Amino acid sequence: MNLTLLLHVLGIVVWVGGMFFAYMALRPVAASVLEPPQRLTLWAGVFGKFFPWVWASVVLILLSGLHMLVKLGGAAAPHYALTMLVLGVAMMLIFAHVFFAPYKKLKRAVGAQDWKAGGAALAQIRKLIGINLAIGLLTIAVVFVGRALMLN
């Protein structure tokens, strides 16, 4: 169980930590110093490097999470664990949408140098990553609060 938990946490650190860095540090600087062609090209490249890591994290988080959930009793697992599952699956679905819809549009727009379409795609990605970041941080809080309540 310890190895499974370690793999689970590593996947979360990569994904949620990456979103935090991108949203809170890279995004504001890129928006303030780069013109749309450079900014959109940067983001298409950053996502091209980050999203394979997210896919690996999604697989790792899902498999390790389901393994731990079974060990905790499956449907009879503590409520915080089931809440984590629901929130995690929602995050995965949002990420899949980002990857297959607006990210694909962003790549196509950058390739065609259609900066207006690229900007619209990036705005949609930014919104969805912001939502996913909030859900990710909430999920982390749920597990710690849930476990603390169970100990009391």
pLDDT in tens, 92-130: 999 999 999 999 999 999 999 999 999 999 999 999 999
Q: What is the pLDDT of residue 149?
A: 87
Residue 40 has pLDDT above 90, yes or no: yes
Share of the chain above pLDDT 90, in %: 95
Q: How far apart (Å, rounded) are the C-alpha atoms in residues 12 and 140?
A: 9
Q: Which residue has tokens 């169970």?
A: 150
Cβ–Cβ < 8 Å for 8, 60: yes
Residue 14: CA atoms inside 13 Å, Cβ hemisphere, count? 19
54: which residues sit within 8 A by CB, 6+ positions away?
14, 15, 18, 95, 99
Q: How far apart (Å, rounded) are the C-alpha atoms in residues 134 and 152?
A: 27
Q: What is the pLDDT of residue 147?
A: 86
Q: Taking residues 57-68, what's their average pLDDT? A: 98
Q: What is the DSSP string of 52-93?
A: HHHHHHHHHHHHHHHHHHHHTTGGGS-HHHHHHHHHHHHHHH
Between CA 61 and CA 68, with CA 66 as vertex, the angle to 5 degrees is 95
pTM for the model stands at 0.95
Residue 46 has pLDDT above 90, yes or no: yes
Q: What is the pLDDT of residue 89?
A: 98
Residue 152 has pLDDT above 80, yes or no: no
